[in-house]
Amino acid sequence: MSTTHEENSLAQVRDLAAQLRVDAIRASTAAGSGHPTSSLSAADLLATLQARHLRYDWDVPDAPGNDHLILSKGHASPLLYAVYRAAGVVSDEELMTGYRRADQRLEGHPTPVLPWVDVATGSLGQGLPDGVGIALSGKHLEHAPYRVWVLCGDGELAEGSVWEALDTASHFGLTNLVTIVDVNRLGQRGPTALGWDLETYAARVESFGARAAVIDGHDVEQIDEALARAEGTDRPLVILARTVKGRGVAEIEDSETWHGKPFPEDLAARAIEELGGERALVVRGPRPPARKRPEPVVEPVRRPEFELGEEVATRKAYGAALVALARADQRVVALDGEVSNSTGVAPFVEEFPERFFEMHIAEQQMVAAATGLATRGHLAFAATFAAFLTRAADFVRMAPVSRVDLRLVGSHAGVEIGADGPSQMGLEDLALFSATQGSTVLYPSDASSTAALVELMARTPGVSYLRTTRGAYPVLYGPEEEFPRGGSKTLVSSATDDVTVVGAGVTVHEALSAAAQLAEQGVSLRVIDAYSIKPLDGDAVRAAAEETGGRVIVVEDHHPQGGLGAAVLAALAREPIRDLHLEHLAVDHVPGSGSSAEQLERAGIDAAHIVRAARSLLEA
């Protein structure tokens, strides 16, 4: 039986909810794994939403007017896939044979392998922050009528990222964002902190500037009325639905021992009978408003130019390059963590205020908002201090799972920042981003290379990270120089070089100073600017190592693990190099305060230490 929205009565919603419960049980039992009880508690919520409020063209998942449904409690994937079956886009055969199976698209937690999924979920506390990014696009950039519906579990409300999201949604007036919380009282190992204390949840929601609606999550009339409040709400709406885990199967309802356990076949059979048996309803709700999304204007980029020898901080060059990119491409938007006057983004804020989103000191939300914006086709660049991006490590980790293109910029990296001390020094960021699947990690040494690499990031898929430096350093390259992904630049070389030095960012300048000092003493140093740390220009490094008798120094303003040294070692390990002798100069201590020069000297990564390392290699 197929129905239109006008025919979807509340009685039919109840029938649909029963079908969703049955299908969630069938799929998880067939797979031998999954979370049926977490699915059963939210079935009435999603049935009402699907049948009467979700404006969606199931045949055209990327229709510009479509609403967006995010299952933040991604472990309830059997319920979501049951919704897809009820919409007629997933067959019963796929539901029963494809769930949680190898090389199938109905994965244990939803991912954008499915065309109806915007972002990957399952790492709790991410769905709502990602939804904020999509809602930001709809309200402030696309000016589109779509709504973003996010289904959360009550357990994930312990995550601070959820409250960052509500705070941000209220700040930006995201009345197109509706959060539905399945308050079923139970987490993985037992009761949640608040259980069914919906009054406290409501007070917290209201304190963050959102509108709370407390309902019985199994009363479809109450659910329907609450969902209807999305029309004309004056604040982001949060529906707090009191539910029962395992609802509809009497022998396991509200049980603390059934989380994440599929029903054995005998229990599944009893449960399906109790729920009225299998059904084959095909239910689609209201159609989205017809809408066309204009094509963005994209023109050639006029890259900013800098004079050779001029001292410019790469963080400042990032801001100039971002402005130039935004002038050429309407898709470019910027986000910042309340440090735009330090990261270099201030000129963008001044010229393109309508395309800038201040995320304040909420780095998880900043990365999540960039993720949501990216799903809508924007080229989102998000910047803060490199040290503070580590707070958002899990959001970075999930970006490849969501198949999004993220462009992140970390300024004030390493001990070079000077007197501010170790709490402000990004010394782990290269490791974080290098370990991210499919990522690109870039660390320019001057303003010209920074401008070129910002342009490169705009056309680079996956997660790309640009590391910038606080201090001003001489421009080394002309405006015509190109910086391809996976490349490097050899700044000093001769046919008789004695030692190779591989640096990036600030250490390139220290290496050049060391090369000049050693040249006066008859020692020839080859200096490589490894601006692309991942992928590294392994061929250039290997060739240089072989041509300088296996004598290599790697110098980086980062901890020894996971940064430039690790990349160079991996490249040199591909094939044996005869008589390889490698010195790795890195920050292998907890720094204090001091000037930039003092910090580099204490860390053993300044020109004097490079000179000392080169002499040591030659003596060896």
Residue 168 burial by Cβ neighbours in a 10 Å radius (0-12, 13-18, 19+): buried
Residues 357 and 239 in one domain: no
**Model confidence over 83-124: pLDDT tens digits?**
999 999 999 999 999 999 999 999 999 999 999 999 999 999
Are both 119 and 13 inside the same structural domain? yes
What token pair was written down for 4?
């239109």
Choosing from 94, 164, 358, 363, the catalytic residue is 363
Quote the CA–CA distance of 489 and 369 in Å, as a whole number: 35
Whether residues 468 and 515 fall in one domain: no
Sign of the C-alpha dihedral computed for residues 560, 561, 564 and 569 taken in this order: positive
Q: Does residue 142 share a domain with residue 46?
A: yes
Query: Which residue type does 576 have?
Result: P
Counting Cβ atoms within 10 Å, is residue 347 exposed (0-12), middle (13-18) or buried (19+)?
middle
In a domain, 554, yes or no: yes
For residue 535, cis peptide bond before it (omega within 30 degrees of 0): yes
Phi/psi of residue 152, nearest 5 degrees: -110, 155
Residues 13, 125 within the same domain = yes
pLDDT digits (tens, 9 = 90+) for 313-370: 999 999 999 999 999 999 999 999 999 999 999 999 999 999 999 999 999 999 999 9
Q: What is the pLDDT of residue 7?
A: 66
Domain residues for 539? 489-619
Q: Where are the beta strands (DSSP E) in 386-437?
A: 406-411
For 571-614, the pLDDT digits (tens) are 999 988 889 999 999 999 999 999 999 999 999 999 999 999 99
The terminus-to-terminus CA distance of the chain in angstroms comes to 82
The residue out of 450, 474, 498 marking a domain boundary is 474
Would you say residue 2 has pLDDT above 80? no
Which CATH number belongs to the domain containing residue 400 in this structure?
3.40.50.970
Q: For the purposes of burial, counting CB atoms within 10 Å of the CB of 273, is it exposed (0-12), middle (13-18) or buried (19 or more)? A: exposed
Together in a domain, 276 and 353? no
Residue 6 has pLDDT above 60, yes or no: no
Same domain, 326 and 459: yes
At residue 552, φ and ψ (nearest 5 deg) are: -135, 135
Average pLDDT over residues 465-486: 97
Are residue 345 and residue 376 in the same domain, yes or no? Answer: yes
* Residue 93 a catalytic site member: no
* 597 belongs to a structural domain: yes
523 and 609, same domain (yes or no): yes
In a domain, 529, yes or no: yes
User: Helix, strand, or coil here: 229?
Assistant: coil
In order, the DSSP letters of 129-174 are HHHHHHHHIIIIIS-----EEEEEESGGGGSHHHHHHHHHHHHTT-
Residue with tokens 């885990």: 245
Q: Over 70: is that where the pLDDT of 35 sits?
A: yes
pLDDT band for position 10 (50/70/90)? very high
- Please say if the pLDDT value at position 4 is more than 80: no
Looking at the fold, whether 146 and 170 belong to one and the same domain comes out as yes
Q: What is the pLDDT of residues 244-261, one digit of tens each?
A: 999 999 999 999 999 999
β-strand pairing of 379-385 with 332-336: parallel
357 and 497 share a domain? no
Q: Examine residue 394 and state whether it is found in any structural domain, yes or no.
A: yes
Q: Is residue 454 part of a domain?
A: yes
| Predicted pLDDT of residue 1 | 37
* Within a domain: 445: yes
Let me know if residue 256 belongs to a domain.
yes
Q: Is 322 helix (H, G, I), strand (E, B) or coil?
A: helix
pLDDT of 3 higher than 70: no
User: Using CA atoms, how far apart are residues 372 and 374, in angstroms rounded to an integer?
Assistant: 5
In this structure, the answer to whether residues 255 and 140 fall within a common structural domain is yes
Q: Which of 264, 283, 302 corresponds to the end of one domain?
A: 283
- In CATH, what number is assigned to the domain containing residue 520? 3.40.50.920
- Residue 28 belongs to a domain: yes
Domain stop point among 245, 266, 283: 283
**What distances in angstroms separate CA 402 from CA 147, 357, 476, 574, one per listed residue?**
20, 22, 38, 31
Give the whole-angstrom CA distance, residue 419 versus residue 598: 9
Please count the CA atoms within 13 angstroms of the CA of 225 that sit on its side-chain side. Answer: 10
The count of domains in the chain is 3
pLDDT tens per residue, range 507-556: 999 999 999 999 999 999 999 999 999 999 999 999 999 999 999 999 99
